Amino acid sequence: MSQPPLLEVSHLRVEFPTRRGTLLALDDVSFSIAPGEILGVVGESGAGKSLTGSAIIGLLEPPGRIAAGEIRLDGRRIDNLSPAEMRRVRGRQIGAIFQDPLTSLNPLYTVGQQLVETIRTHLPLSGTQARERAIDLLRQTGIPAPEARIDQYPHQFSGGMRQRVVIALALAAEPRLIVADEPTTALDVSIQAQIIALLRRLAREHGAAVMLVTHDMGVIAETSDRVAVMYAGRVVEIGPVQQVIHHPAHPYTRGLMGSIPVMDEDRERLTQIDGAMPRLNAIPSGCAFNPRCGEVMPRCLRERPELMSAGATRAACWLHDAGAAA
Amino acid sequence: MLAFIIRRLVQAVIVMLAVALIAFMLFQYVGDPVTNLMGQEATAEQRAQLRADLGLDKPAAMQFARFVGNAIQGEFGLSLRQGRKVSTLVGERFPATLELALVAALIALMLGIPMGVLAALRRGSWTAQLLMGFSLLGVSLPTFLIGILLILLFAVVLNWLPSFGRGELVNLGGWATGLLTVDGWRHLLLPAITLSIFQLTLIMRLVRAEMLEVLRSDYIKFARARGLTDRTVYFGHALKNTLVPVMTITGLQLGGLIAFAIITETVFQWPGMGLLFIQAVQFADIPVMAAYLCLISLIFVTINLVVDLLYFVVDPRLRADRAVAAH
Amino acid sequence: MSPVSDAVPPLSAWRRFLEGDLWYSFRHSPVAQIAALLVFVCAFCALFAPWVAPHNPFDLSTIELADAQLPPAWLPEGRATFLLGTDDQGRDILSALMYGARISLLVGLAAVALSLLFGVALGLLSGYAGGHVDAFIMRVCDVMLSFPAILIALLIDGVGRALFPHAHDTLAFTVLILAIALTGWVKYARTVRGSTLVERHKDYVQAARVIGVAPLRIMWRHVLPNVTGPVLVLATIDIAAAVIIEATLSFLGVGVPPTSPSLGTLIRIGNDNLMSGMWWITVFPGAVLMILALSVNLLGDWLRDALNPRLQ
């Protein structure tokens, strides 16, 4: 990769000060996304995937806050910007898509009004030009008869259509990066494939990189170039998607891949990982996965592994520590 | 939508009939209906005559029907206390109460909504805490006490404003208004403020709570994620969504102003319907009580209806054009 | 590796309370503590007025007209025995405050208790019976909610007066308490109904019916923990509201009988004498009323925030 990364997250640490102590929600998370690349971020509920997205766009819910680390967009730090500056980044440089299209749209405004206001906030277009652009965006996202539907209210669209509108809104100001947080989870299975294909196609056409957060490995396999696996607020494995799927290096990733039914492979039963992901206030010392790991070593209980090279991917696991004795 | 209107109208009529029933029972069974209609100075013959005329021997249902018929025409007999026709009395007093209530409503809205928005946007700040403290006071201080304290301060100690009566009035074809004279306004100011405070606090709390709720919603988060300016997010999106439910509840509250006026009118000796009602309660003047009850119910029911229709106008989800199927 | 079963002795209710969120919240809220203190002081003085008050303002034999219209003790003409001054009849204001607060609080508490019982019962009935009964009760609730409390109270009071024109004190009090109680029951009914509806559809209710046990009794045991919190909050704020309504009614002359003046009556007396400059007859009862209502409201607000699971 000779191009400098578009997004670079370094040692990000997100805390939640509560009445009973500080909870560590993201612990030393690092990854990067190249321009035009689609990075999938996968993990169970509570692993910290959505939080990472929120932190990147600067919309962490208080009392959550970034305690350490850096987030750079095109080399420029964005985690320490003033609210006004961050607002300009949002929408224009980074677009966002959230999970539930029904609640993402304001029910009292037409789709067109919401599109036009987004466009005109970031681009110096007149009302007519903005409307033209809005209609065009709707057409691109596959909404039929956009000239008519632009003046309709969100409740007049079906779930899949609404998410297309949301995608149009995210693309409205031509952002370089789109953070998509579970964009298909709330949709019917039959629609999911369409929407995810649409997202992928539009991202390529507009030259936008995508950070695709989901718990659905199938979606990742379909769309992503690379994938990062998160567990208990940490990145445990990251690499090209085919490698992670077929040659997972981290025991957790292996468990994940083994738990997905695959049609062309002959397998007796799906693997199951005993136990559950630890809660934020009870994360084990050392490697967070050690209570559930089938290949745990004494070292795993004491020292926390960093991401290290493990074949074609990078994994945070002492199994791949080239220089150490077992 | 038409079906909805008809249903609400039917409900309104039912409520009015129920109220009329209560008023009727007051009339018939609490005290003597003949006395209620004729006053206390009628002779025995007049009473007997009226009794026959009224058909007091007829079944209760018929008497009720007659009562309703009379009520619709505003005929409630004579006031026991004053001996004059109830309808005349009410007619004289109505403008005073209405003007008072309207001005108070205006004050409550024009101050309450901005204060509520401010308290929500600047949550946790000194401004917000001050506003919430003020609202707590407003709820803990009974209206009459506020009135008395205002009188004490502005009329007795400072001697800036008068403490009772309506002042100079202008007669507009039967409607005696105090809004056209400076003196009228001077008299109106303290009572209107007193009356508005309780509603003001309620509106402020409501707006704040609703706005806080709205600010937590997904579409606000998405609006922020799209980089919309704070002004657009707060006043374009959040405020509009806040005001829709607030507006309807507020409409209902404002109807209550007319009833709350009872207290204010007593404190300031404001010659309105509320004062009339209180005197009726003290005196057990049934006809006046019954008339007041019916009139107030009519006002409430009407306001309820208007508010329901307003909801239709404002919320596009209710106006859904069912011809356009979602696809 | 199987965990060894930990044998921890169950904590007593008191200990559980001390370590619970509620006490934690209270300890960390100076506002709640001050409010609780104020309420306690008022309640104490009110409840034990006959023993705590320096005079008995309603014992006619102890009142002398010569003592009338004295200002508070710190003003030139005041006297130490009448700390807050006297009214136009020579009654000590401080004592009248305590006795008045007593009446106000008793009426308020009785009204809220009655309101609570009535509302909870109706809510249970409505939620359990369902169908037409439920619809009817809810309609009544809706209608009652659209009328302001003061109007309902005035109406019932007025009707009471008309029905019993020469009522003696106890009856007058009963009518008053009833009037106030009927203004506030709706919110309890709604809360309990909601919870009952949820429980009614659960399996154990069907099972109880099959066995032949009255499901109502079992349901109540499940409904109760769910509604205790919200009902408590409602009741607290309701007490403040009830005291204010009573004061308003008494001020208007249609509340407590004149022989047992409450704070509202005192304020009315003060109002009548406002122009003659005897401000203390109005201001002190007003202040006590305000402090009482304010403290109870603050407590209610704190309680609601402390019990709200969403704010944890």
Q: Residues A276-300: pLDDT tens digits? A: 788 777 888 888 887 888 788 888 8
- Who wins on pLDDT, A13 or C147? A13
Chain B touched by A149 (CB under 8 Å): no
- Give the A:B interface size as CB pairs under 8 Å: 88
For residue A177, report the phi and psi dihedrals to the nearest 5 degrees: -135, 140
Percent share of chain C, pLDDT over 90: 4
Report whether C273 contacts C10 (CB < 8 A). no
pLDDT tens readout for residues C42-70: 888 888 877 777 777 766 666 666 667 77
- Who wins on pLDDT, C224 or A252? A252
pLDDT tens readout for residues A18-34: 877 788 888 889 999 98
Tell whether C17 is covered by a domain: no
CA dihedral A245, A248, A250, A251 (to 10 degrees): 90
Percent share of chain B, pLDDT over 70: 89
The mean pLDDT value for C156-163 works out to 76
Q: Where are the beta strands (DSSP E) in chain B?
A: 170-172, 175-177
CB spacing of B326 vs A158 below 8 angstroms:
yes
The shortest C-alpha distance from A106 to chain B (Å) reads 6
Q: Answer whether residue B178 shows pLDDT above 80.
A: no
Q: Answer whether residue B325 shows pLDDT above 50.
A: no
Q: Which chain A residue lies closest to B222 (C-alpha atoms)?
A: A104
Per-residue model confidence (pLDDT) at position C32: 81
Nearest by CB: B289 against C158, C247, C248:
C158
The shortest C-alpha distance from B246 to chain A (Å) reads 15
The residue among A54, A59, A99, A156 with the most chain B CBs within 10 A of its CB, best to mutate, is A156
Where does the pLDDT of residue C18 fall: very low under 50, low under 70, confident under 90, or very high at 90 and above? low
Among residues 244-263 of chain B, which lie with CB inside 8 Å of chain C?
252, 255-256, 259-260, 262-263
Q: Comparing C-alpha atoms, which of A138, A145, A146, A134 is closest to residue A163?
A: A138
Q: Which chain B residue lies closest to C298 (C-alpha atoms)?
A: B136
Neighbour count for residue C138 (Cβ, 10 Å): 15
- DSSP SS3 for B122: coil
Per-residue model confidence (pLDDT) at position B53: 65
Among residues 294-323 of chain B, which lie with CB inside 8 Å of chain C?
296, 300, 304
The residue among C39, C248, C254 with the most chain B CBs within 10 A of its CB, best to mutate, is C248
Nearest by CB: C158 against B152, B266, B284:
B284
Per-residue model confidence (pLDDT) at position B248: 77
Average pLDDT for chain B: 81
Chain C touched by B128 (CB under 8 Å): no
Nearest by CB: C254 against B145, B281, B293:
B281
Q: Comparing C-alpha atoms, which of B37, B78, B75 is closest to residue B295?
A: B75
The CA-atom distances, in angstroms, between C199 and each of C117, C124, C219 are 20, 11, 7
CB spacing of B15 vs C143 below 8 angstroms:
yes
Chain B touched by A204 (CB under 8 Å): no
Tell whether C23 is covered by a domain: no
Q: Which chain C residue lies closest to B302 (C-alpha atoms)?
A: C146
Domains in chain C, number: 1
Tell whether C2 is covered by a domain: no
The shortest C-alpha distance from B252 to chain C (Å) reads 7
Chain C touched by B13 (CB under 8 Å): no
The residue among B125, B210, B221, B222 with the most chain A CBs within 10 A of its CB, best to mutate, is B222
Chain B touched by A73 (CB under 8 Å): no
What distance in Å separates the CA atoms of residue A198 and residue A97, rounded to the nearest whole number?
13
Chain C touched by B30 (CB under 8 Å): yes
CB spacing of B221 vs A109 below 8 angstroms:
no
Tell whether C12 is covered by a domain: no
CB spacing of A117 vs B321 below 8 angstroms:
no
The residue among B121, B215, B219 with the most chain A CBs within 10 A of its CB, best to mutate, is B219
Q: Answer whether residue A241 shows pLDDT above 80.
A: yes
Chain B touched by C159 (CB under 8 Å): yes
Q: What is the pTM of this model?
A: 0.79
Tell whether C15 is covered by a domain: no
Q: Answer whether residue B209 shows pLDDT above 70.
A: yes
Chain B touched by C247 (CB under 8 Å): yes
Q: Of A184-193, B146-155, C87-96, where does mean pLDDT reach its minimum?
A: C87-96
Instruction: Give burial (CB, 10 Å; 0-12/13-18/19+) of A324.
Output: exposed
**Strand A209-214 versus strand A38-42 pairing type:** parallel
pLDDT tens readout for residues B284-296: 777 888 888 888 8
Tell whether C45 is covered by a domain: yes
CA A64, A68, A74, A76 dihedral sign is positive
Per-residue model confidence (pLDDT) at position B320: 57
Tell whether C6 is covered by a domain: no
Per-residue model confidence (pLDDT) at position B36: 62
Q: Of B165-174, B318-327, C242-251, where does mean pLDDT reach its minimum?
A: B318-327
Per-residue model confidence (pLDDT) at position B196: 92
Tell whether C189 is covered by a domain: yes
Chain A touched by B7 (CB under 8 Å): no
Chain C touched by B286 (CB under 8 Å): yes
CATH code for the domain in which residue C161 is found = 1.10.3720.10
CB spacing of B142 vs C279 below 8 angstroms:
no
Subunits adjacent to chain B (3 or more Cβ pairs under 8 Å) = A, C
Chain C touched by B143 (CB under 8 Å): yes
Chain A touched by B26 (CB under 8 Å): no
| Cβ within 8 Å of residue A6, ≥6 positions away | A32, A33, A34, A35, A36, A37, A73, A74, A176, A177, A209
- Who wins on pLDDT, C83 or A144? A144
The shortest C-alpha distance from A105 to chain B (Å) reads 5
For residue A297, report the phi and psi dihedrals to the nearest 5 degrees: -120, 165
The mean pLDDT value for A65-69 works out to 89
| Chain A hits for B317, Cβ within 8 Å | 107, 153, 155
Domain that includes residue C118, residue range: 29-311
Q: Answer whether residue C133 shows pLDDT above 90.
A: no
Residue that has been written with the tokens 């026959």 in this structure: B52
Q: Which chain B residue lies closest to A179 (C-alpha atoms)?
A: B225
Q: Quote ipTM for the complex.
A: 0.85
Chain B touched by A22 (CB under 8 Å): no
Chain B touched by C147 (CB under 8 Å): yes
Q: Which chain B residue lies closest to A98 (C-alpha atoms)?
A: B222
